[in-house]
Amino acid sequence: MATIKDVSRLANVSISTVSRVINNTAQVAPEKREAVLSAMKELNFRPNSFAQALVSKRSNCIGVLVGDLCGGPFFAQMMLGLERVIDRANKFTIVMSGNHDEQRERHAIEALLQRQCDALILHSKALPDEELLELTHGDTPIVFVNRVVPGAEERCVWLDNREGTCCAVRHLISMGHSKIAFVTSDDSDFTDAKQRFEGYKSGLEEAGIALDPQLVTSAYADEVGGHKAVEQLLERNVEFTAFVGFNDAMAAGGISCLMERGLQVPEQVSVVGFDDIPYIRFIRPKLTTVKYPIESIGEQAAELALRLLDGKNSEDVRLKFVPEMVVRDSVKQI
């Protein structure tokens, strides 16, 4: 790989001049500039980004920690939002996945930091609040996604999960339902699960409906889990006219369980999901759900990170997102 020295030699100028034309950092005589340009082309020169980073103290990289790239389209969508703005700022994205494992998350963050990322965007599920808070004291700007870290609220971009399930319940109630089940994740120290359950409870409470523990069922938070959970629910022989799913996948699994038993959705049971994942359009009936605006969240998180980096004020960055209902065909008025 050719270096700046090679170019300077070929163009018969000093390395500073070359540097100047590379970075447009000062005026250079047109003829010399031409000479440099053609020398660069001839040698297929590309500035060594490490040398640049070493001296300029800027890596132009934003490090991103995600749960896992493959757990559904979720992170992919977030990345889409992130990339859009990071790209526009002419920076790079380095992605690492923590796979929801504490050790791995810690290691990934460590690695990102060591890479001298200019800023970090973290979607950490496994690390404790204190550890995350600690990180914000370092000299690398850090932004948290989908999580509120106490003491670092102004660096968190997140969705109000509680409000989400609450909306879902409200919607069902407005459609005449009152026996509403909740099909949730069995990972009870998963913050999202707690919050969504809270939302379910307060939605009922608002309407003066007592919580019936028999109507709450849980399993692993995917389609298979949803299927199982609804199966359990059915076995309990409690009456319900609707259920809210922890996420769309569980809702879809639950629906297939109902259908297998000859129960029609929404004729006999209404269903509301959560997330509005793209491939929900494959599900029949079209699922009514709560939108998780993950792409926008990604965008705002990146925006915030860049602001922090530039020391610009970040007041107009949206931190807290409020979910909205997406009404489709899986809820029936009764």
Partner DNA sequence: CTGTTAGCGCCTTCAT
Partner DNA sequence: ATGAAGGCGCTAACAG
Residue 236 interface partner, choices its own copies, DNA, none, CB cut-off 5-8 Å depending on type: none
Backbone angles phi, psi at 62, to 5 degrees: -110, 125
CB 178, min distance to its own copies, A: 29
Gap between the Cα atoms of 151 and 174, Å rounded: 37
Classified as helix, coil or strand, 245 is strand
Residues written for the chain: 334
Residue 111 interface partner, choices its own copies, DNA, none, CB cut-off 5-8 Å depending on type: its own copies
Gap between the Cα atoms of 230 and 251, Å rounded: 9
Residue 110 interface partner, choices its own copies, DNA, none, CB cut-off 5-8 Å depending on type: its own copies
At a CB cut-off of 8 Å and minimum separation 6, what does 174 contact? none
Residue 174 binds to DNA (criterion: CB under 7 A) = no
CB 43, min distance to DNA, A: 10
Applying CB under 8 A, among 18, 65, 96, 143 the residue interacting with its own copies is: 96
Applying CB under 7 A, among 41, 42, 48, 134 the residue interacting with DNA is: 48
Gap between the Cα atoms of 121 and 165, Å rounded: 26
Gap between the Cα atoms of 255 and 273, Å rounded: 10
How many residues sit close enough to DNA to count as binding (CB under 7 A)? 30
Gap between the Cα atoms of 331 and 78, Å rounded: 28
In the shown chain, the binding pattern of residues 10 to 39 toward DNA, with x for contact by CB under 7 A and - for none, equals --xxxxxx-xx-xx-xxxxx--xx------
**For residue 225, which of 266, 165, 280, 183 has the smallest C-alpha distance?**
183
CB 273, min distance to its own copies, A: 11
Applying CB under 8 A, among 23, 48, 174, 264 the residue interacting with its own copies is: 48
CB 242, min distance to DNA, A: 59
Looking at this protein, which amino acid is placed at residue 34? Answer: E
Which residues contact DNA by CB under 7 A? 1, 3-5, 12-17, 19-20, 22-23, 25-29, 32-33, 45-48, 51-52, 54-56
